[in-house]
Structure 1
């Protein structure tokens, strides 16, 4: 028996538990944890936007604030989407577990294990990348202090780099350490939320790819059985085809159920992400001598483009796996099967004429082509902003 929570989603479970988003065991303490963590993230966004109140709103200043604020808005959207859709996520995991409970064939279990290991490897790599990103952001803040101490021979004076513009309406010198703590805790929560939620969805979708692969295996098995001239074998072949169709339909239902309930969140994420990409591209190209700001914007760009690519790549995998099911139906020796089996195969071939795509936010048909299109669009918007800035 396959236990998804303990075998395949264990890393995702730990990450989501840290930020209070694991959909099970939602006690009052967990709800309090959610309020504190989400509140920290949201207040950091607010204190970035309040800088417009006390500062002169030049174009450079606007782009500087928006480049970081919209990045944290993206992180908050991801956090909030899992918070409000906890019941949906719990139901999706239950449905996936029910499908896995019906799998008894050793080869089918091996297929699920293969995709589970793949998802785990991606999760670990993204987690390590997130830790590196967090360390880099921390380093660009403490580096001026290190240099200052070395230059002044251990006489410490408090420089105040402002790579992320904020306004707390308090004495920045007096409460410097509290402001710094709030900033880095918010960054840590946001990055962890992005990794935890993103890898959770990725792992879930990888398991639906496994279901498509199992459907291919069952079709091949059914045709092999049907080639043995026996009424008993013909009945077995029927059952295998029915099981293949069922798991294929279940995979599509699971994907549609999860994605459709996150539709509003994905739409907001796409819109906020595009604004963030454009502003940070502008910040990178406009680099003069502020190396800290350049590294920060570059980190944000790498994170967002990586997220864009991985989400579209995973969706492309789902489309490819779905098409491979029907390619398998076409390529097997179905013409050697009994006439009644051939008629069932024809129905499957007709169903294969309709493509299946994952649609995010109700507007974006996700694929590698869409990733390239979004990248091109962000660069086009950036070009327009850059030309107006030059004028």
Structure 2
């Protein structure tokens, strides 16, 4: 028996930290959401307040908006995932019901293989997140740390790595502001890892269901080569094909259901990610052109890298689902269906006809998840960056 509680163990732990594990909601998790989302919102709010106390030149606006747009990605993801928490719970229960019906040891092995893929991805994402957070915090505190290590007795004008207005004496309360910023970075990293890892694991299990469907088709057609009583053979072939079609339909249903539930989140993320990528590319170009302090280019470069990686992974997952669906119909075409009885050949022809329509994940009817879509989004971001720069 396949237990999602075991398969999603690491994802469960990460989601519990930020109060987003769908199967365990309580007053405590509601408090976690309010508390953590408030901290994330302050990260954006205190950047917006900088417009009140500073002169709004075009360079300054780009500098502020480039970081605000990146921070907004995590606020959108965290908030909208929480609003769909009940839908996620229902989807996990449906996935568990499907897994409970899988009894064949070969099919269980297939699901375990895809679970291992999900675990490896989540583990790699966790390691990447920890390293990024550690590096980010070091950079945030670097000027103060270097001053202590080098015992420099010269007065330095310390400042935050992002332009933020707390309406306090930032020289006096610098470390308090740095701790606040570090907490925001940690919450954002956990949010990225937990939600991204959870969605990847879910889609990997649906990919496993597509693979099981292909496996059942192969087994059903191979039965035709066995020497057995004709009526028993016919029943086994039909039973195998029907079970393959059923799990294929369930995989498509669960994929489409999840895509529909998180469609608003994905649509908002696509818009904000394209904006963040364009603005941070512009920020990097500004720093390089004006020969400003090279340290200022670090965070825009990190923002661009993370945004591009996240867009790539999201589209790669959608492409992987499309490929797994196509593999099923490739399997149907490749098996020795011509040796099967005539009624089975007719059934297989219906399957092949259905395979002419590509299975895709679309967002708002405008974006179809694929590697081609990833290339289009990056190209659009570069185009917007060029337009904004030419307008300055």
TM-score by length of 1: 0.96
Aligned to 2:112: 113
Distance 2:149 2:186 in 1: 28
Distance 2:42 2:235 in 1: 63
Aligned to 1:327: 330
Aligned to 1:224: 222
Aligned to 2:353: 350
Choose which of 302, 326, 349 in structure 1 pairs with 2:305: 302
Aligned to 1:214: 212
Distance 1:292 1:359 in 2: 39
Q: What are the ranges of 5 or more consecutive residues in structure 2 without an aligned counterpart?
A: none
Aligned to 1:16: 15
Aligned to 1:271: 271
CA contact (8 A) 1:263 1:362 kept: no
Distance 2:225 2:342 in 1: 11
Comparing 170-179 with 353-362, greater Cα deviation is found at 170-179
Aligned to 2:52: 53
CA contact (8 A) 1:267 1:362 kept: no
Distance 1:317 1:28 in 2: 38
Aligned to 1:62: 61
Distance 2:386 2:166 in 1: 33
**RMSD over aligned Cα, in angstroms?**
1.4
Distance 1:184 1:141 in 2: 8
Distance 1:291 1:67 in 2: 17
Distance 2:190 2:247 in 1: 33
Aligned to 2:247: 247
Q: After superposition, what is the alpha-carbon deviation per residue over 1:58-98, rounded to whole angstroms, capped at 9, x for unaligned? A: 11111111111111111011101211000011011111111
Distance 1:45 1:202 in 2: 28
Distance 1:63 1:255 in 2: 38
Distance 1:176 1:240 in 2: 67
TM-score by length of 2: 0.96
Distance 1:70 1:296 in 2: 13
Deviation at 1:170, TM superposition (A): 2.0
CA contact (8 A) 1:148 1:157 kept: no
Does residue 236 of the first structure (1) align with residue 239 of the second (2)?
no
Where does 1:1-391 land on structure 2 (aligned, <5 Å)?
Answer: 1-6=1-6, 8-150=7-149, 153-155=151-153, 157=155, 159-228=157-226, 230-287=230-287, 288-389=291-392
Distance 1:154 1:380 in 2: 46
Deviation at 1:25, TM superposition (A): 2.0
Q: May I ask how many residue pairs the two structures share in their alignment? A: 387
Distance 2:374 2:223 in 1: 42
CA contact (8 A) 1:144 1:159 kept: no
Distance 1:208 1:154 in 2: 58
Comparing 35-44 with 283-292, greater Cα deviation is found at 283-292
Runs of at least 4 residues of structure 1 off by over 4 A? none
Q: What are the ranges of 5 or more consecutive residues in structure 1 without an aligned counterpart?
A: none
Distance 1:188 1:330 in 2: 49
Deviation at 1:150, TM superposition (A): 4.9
Deviation at 1:346, TM superposition (A): 1.1
Distance 2:8 2:367 in 1: 27
Residue aligned with 1:286, SS: helix
CA contact (8 A) 1:225 1:233 kept: yes
Deviation at 1:231, TM superposition (A): 1.3
Distance 2:115 2:355 in 1: 27
Q: After superposition, what is the alpha-carbon deviation per residue over 1:210-263, rounded to whole angstroms, capped at 9, x for unaligned? A: 000000000000000123352101101101100000000000100110110111
Residue aligned with 2:277, SS: helix
Deviation at 1:340, TM superposition (A): 1.3
Distance 1:254 1:78 in 2: 21
CA contact (8 A) 1:3 1:97 kept: yes
Distance 1:112 1:291 in 2: 48
Distance 1:41 1:377 in 2: 28
